[in-house]
Amino acid sequence: MFIVHFTALLLISCVNKENRTGQWQVIELEQSLQNLTELKVSDFGRTIRYVPLETTDDCLIGNEPTLKVLKNFIIVESQREKQCLLFNKKDGSFVIKIGHTGQDPAAYTDEFGWIDESEAFLYFQRGSNQLLKYDMKGNFCGKVEFATPPGIASFYLLSDSELIGYYSGLNQQNDYAVGFFDKEGVLQDTIPLLIERIPVKYDNIESISVTKGKYTYGSWGRAGAIHFTFKDDKKAIIASYVARLWRNNGNIRFKEDFVDTIYTISDRKLIPTIVFDNGKYHWSPQEITNSQNTNGRIFIGDVYENDTFVFFQCVRGMHSHDVTLYNGLYHKESDKTKLGDNSKPIQDDLTRFMPFKPLSMSTSGEFVSYLEAFHILDWLDEHPEAKNNEALSFLKNLEEDMNPVVVLIE
């Protein structure tokens, strides 16, 4: 465990030397922060596509949904309505509602789901130690039960033969960051913690607050963030359902909060692959809870990857009242990074439509976002000429109470 921990903490100090040997790629953040650029849609891809989601009484979507875009489907998870809806990716037509909340054995307790590698099944949390399995036709297909501890992980990566769980947050009783389970939920192997968990003594807590749906920290905290203020003036923020495990081109990636390295998991071992070089903005893991003298430090939030790019969001002033969010694009082939202030809209220079706000990435590598119908109509009041654009033909039939329009860039 010490060796992994030691490597994680000292990797930044030797990135320049190792990068010259080609062992890993380096995302230069210090230079990028000092040379911000205004990103545009063409920086993300060559084409942009809009998919209006069908609107009927059976598939109404509430505010601030979570999207998962697959090869053939769009999954919409709505926290307020406690439902998971499946739409056709090609035309946005409604397919089926997947599962339900409740007390019966087939009911899940949280509508946030994890898709398996073959995109044939969705898994939902039930209680503190079960995952319920549904197919893409809405059929209940059984459950996976875990011992407690470890119980349910913060995030899962699933295949036909294996479940990989990432454990973060508070009150975890296990001493590892990643657990490998067979399809019955039996622990097979682990990867130790890279940094120590945030120690929480409840008699030292000054206040606790929860935010959901806000974009202050980008997609990292959008599903829910718990804010702790301690009596010794230290602070901590824990986010829910952060995708710290993902697949790219057959590889499994892993990145821990406050560790500036993206690892490839191979033979259940960590191989450094991509490093964020934050330079003078580096936030040491030993200072995670420091609320003094850390306002200039950079925290790497969500990270998404396809064959061409690493897209990431980073936060400066995380423990302050003056939080700045940045959107970053690292181009793998050119080894170039573009970083833009999120407060400056990403202009659509392809179809001249509304600004783009990247929220996630599809399993096919497309950048994903969505637009609420009423926001589009407000924009159209000032840009009526957009209805004459053939690429925006869906605007002609848009009404205020319709479901969102999904945006895909590749």
Residue type, 279: G
Tell me the C-alpha distance between 246 and 304, whole Å. Answer: 8
Tokens matching residue 138? 């809405």
Tell me the C-alpha distance between 113 and 117, whole Å. Answer: 13
Strands lying side by side in the sheet with 73-78: 66-69, 73-78, 83-88, 94-97
Going by C-beta distance under 8 Å and a sequence separation of 6 or more, which residues neighbour residue 184? 144, 145
User: What is the pLDDT at residue 22?
Assistant: 57
pLDDT average per 10 residues of sequence, the chain (410 residues) = 38 44 85 97 98 97 93 93 95 98 95 96 96 98 95 93 88 83 97 85 89 88 89 90 93 95 97 97 92 92 96 95 95 97 97 96 97 97 95 95 97
pLDDT in tens, 172-223: 678 899 999 999 999 999 999 998 887 777 888 999 999 887 889 999 988 8
User: What is the pLDDT at residue 240?
Assistant: 86
For β-strands 73-78 and 66-69, DSSP reports them as: antiparallel
Residue 225's φ and ψ, nearest 5 degrees, are -135, 130
Q: Which of 336, 342, 356 is nearest to 32 (CA)?
A: 336
User: What is the pLDDT at residue 20?
Assistant: 40
pLDDT in tens, 298-346: 999 999 999 999 999 999 999 998 999 999 999 999 999 999 999 999 9
Tell me the C-alpha distance between 6 and 9, whole Å. Answer: 5
